[in-house]
Chains A and B, each alone.
Chain A
Amino acid sequence: MTRVRVTAPLASPRSPVAGGRSPLESREAAQDSEVGQVFVRSLIRSQLRLALVVAGGFLLILAAFPLILVVVPGLAETRIAGIPFGWLLLGAGMYPVIGLSAWLYVRTAARNEARYRDLAGEQ
């Protein structure tokens, strides 16, 4: 086995390394125009809005779960298959909520990007 001596790409840590040929440069050049920047800004706004809505919704549910247990007396101690409902809700019930939020976000974020691609492509 021969070992290959390598040198670092430190000189330009900002330039992507893999593959050498990068789509970034022309991608940015195309979006430098004023119209391009408008599209970029609107993409960033819609992605941020989406992230905040999903995060907010998730936090509401996160807060609602223990609240339900406090508000409904006896619910936390009700047993399902020998396990108290409070444990099921907090110990297992949060994960599907997290997964669902994540899935919704990934789908919608990709859709936002597709819409941006269409707009920027028509420019």
Chain B
Amino acid sequence: MNAGLAITAVAVVSLATAIIGFYGLRISRTTGDFYVASRTVRPWWNASAIGGEYLSAASFLGVAGLILLSGTDALWFPVGYTAGYLMLLLFVAAPLRRSGAYTIPDFTEARLSSRTVRRVTSVVVVMVGWLYIVPQLHGAALTIQISTGLPSWVGSVSVVVVVCLTVVAGGMRSITFVQAFQYWLKLTALAVPILFIIFVLAGNGAEPQSLPAVNPTDLAPAGLYQNVSLLVALLFGTLGLPHVLVRFYTNPDGHSARRTTLIVLGLLSVFYLFPTAYGLVARMYAPGLARSGQPDAMVLRLPGELVGGLPGDLLSALVVAGAFAAFLSTTSGLVVSLAGVISQDVLGGSVRGFRLAAVVSAVVPLGFAFMTGSLALAGSVGLVFAFTASTVCPVLLLGIWWRGLTDTGAIAGMLTGGLLCGGAMIVGSLSGAGLSGSGQTPAWLAQPAAWSVPAAFAVMVIVSRATAHRIPATMPRTMTRLHTPERPLATERGSGGQ
């Protein structure tokens, strides 16, 4: 791979991100702009931004790498990532927008009238965010090392620096434009090279080296439990991701929150066809890439492997640019939502506090990233989904749909889910096995969601039942606000006398 071209690609993406971010500075004036872009973003912009933010290192590099390794078993990852948005649409999108809160802790506090619930939720949200940023930084380290030959820390540090600069400068408003741009960049950066590769392969009549059904590293097929547990994590994890939720506040009302999600589903569906195509083409024409020990790098290496020469170098540079857009957009989305939580809870909610919190939110996971080794990206992100599904998801679902939830129940459930899932993650990683299901970690530890999510729900319901006297008096009003449609102002005035 040509290092000069790759460095240019990274520099151009970082610069474009920074320029759009600074442009956004001129229109970010109020605290509302900083947190939620004043809720005035059009559905198409917003949907592109959500897509841009959601498609992380795991989607861009990890999914294709896992498909190369384990074939159709890994197809559940892109399907689950997309179907997670369907669950979000069905159960969360409109009510959450109508709640009028900025962050998940805001929501739980408003719903359950409890400062303690707020604090517990904040801790959980910050943990989820940090856990999720770490794989992005690992992805950046891997990409820089493979594509430029520079030391891998350059990758993670440059992502953190660019993200801090843009977030500190412009807040949510500029981030919305940056991320909308990055969705389309990511799509182009995956689509153009693979279409070119397929065209070249068809043109010179290349013979497949292997069948699609053959696992190149002889990985054993995943069991039913693993696939089901993974799907539980992905389906229910998405609706609790802090950076995804904060996006819904940028819609003007509940109905447009739903329409936005519908567009997002379309954008994700189109995107995920391409990692799948990379995986299939690599299994058939370049199975050797799986044996390098870095399957996550497959997307970066495939153009050089199958096209070669200057076109191969140019296509590789395009893929590197897209990968960097993925790390930047997901990290900045997470940093914005974490900074929102940390600054409101600890630093008094001013713009200066938001900026300080943004730097803290980005630098802490950088430390984690240096301390931990890179794992399979899609696998480690899958574990973050399992953690979210065991903590934030139950409190959101029950808070929105069940009148009986109490603050004590919510806290007990979140702690149960967090301890069970977090414990499984720690024990699983200590037993020294890979996260993609390989190695000797038993399946129930490697994929805890299938039991930790029901456990969290059960504890939340049982403890809430036992403490039913703590149901807040504001509950009927809150439920009304969450579920009734906003009226246009004209109707509001006309029927004001009711």
Contact = CB atoms under 8 A, between A and B. Distances in A.
Contacts of B495: 30, 121
Contact of B481 (A28, A95, A99): A28
Interface in A1-36: 1, 4, 6-10, 13-18, 23-24, 26-28, 30-32, 36
A98 B82 contact: yes
B102 interface: yes
A99 B268 CA distance: 10
Contacts of A26: 492, 496
Contacts of B489: 23
A15 B100 contact: yes
B401 interface: yes
Contacts of A83: 280
A99 B266 contact: yes
A14 to B, nearest CB: 5
B349 A44 contact: no
B401 A48 contact: yes
Contacts of B87: 55
Nearest to B261: A102
B487 to A, nearest CB: 6
A55 to B, nearest CB: 5
Contacts of B269: 95-96, 98-99
A53 B101 CA distance: 28
Interface in A92-111: 92, 94-96, 98-99, 101-103, 105-106, 109-110
B54 to A, nearest CB: 14
Contacts of A96: 269
B471 to A, nearest CB: 15
A6 B86 contact: no
Interface string B87-115: 10111001000001110001001100000
A8 B351 contact: yes
A44 B483 contact: yes
B32 A103 contact: no
B349 A10 contact: yes
A10 B344 CA distance: 7
B469 interface: no
Contacts of A24: 100, 481, 486
A30 B498 contact: yes
A45 to B, nearest CB: 10
Given A18-B32, A121-B495, A92 B276 contact: yes
B111 to A, nearest CB: 10
B401 A13 contact: no
B212 A7 contact: no
B426 interface: no
Contacts of A74: none
A77 B212 CA distance: 9
Contacts of B91: 51, 55
A102 B265 contact: yes
Given A4-B29, A6-B31, A109 B94 contact: yes
B42 interface: no
Interface residues on A, range: 35 or more
B461 to A, nearest CB: 15
Interface string B399-418: 00100000000000000000
Contacts of A91: 72, 75, 78, 273, 276, 280
B291 interface: no
A104 to B, nearest CB: 10
A106 B262 contact: yes
Given A98-B265, A103-B262, A106-B262, A27 B94 contact: no
Given A9-B32, A84-B212, A121-B495, A18 B40 contact: yes
Given A18-B38, A26-B492, A87 B86 contact: no
Interface string A46-67: 0110010011001000100000
Contacts of A116: 484-485
Interface in B245-287: 252, 255, 258-259, 261-262, 265-266, 269, 272-273, 276, 280
Given A83-B280, A86-B72, A77 B483 contact: no
Interface string B50-73: 000000000000000000000010
Contact of B255 (A8, A14, A30, A110): A110
B100 to A, nearest CB: 4
B8 interface: no
Contacts of B85: 98
A106 B259 CA distance: 7
Nearest to B273: A92
22 contacts: A6-B351, A8-B344, A9-B349, A13-B101, A17-B39, A27-B481, A32-B477, A37-B476, A48-B401, A91-B72, A91-B276, A94-B79, A94-B82, A98-B86, A102-B89, A102-B262, A105-B89, A106-B261, A113-B255, A113-B485, A116-B485, A117-B485
Cβ-closest 8 pairs across A and B:
A95-B269, A10-B349, A8-B349, A51-B90, A113-B485, A91-B276, A16-B100, A90-B75
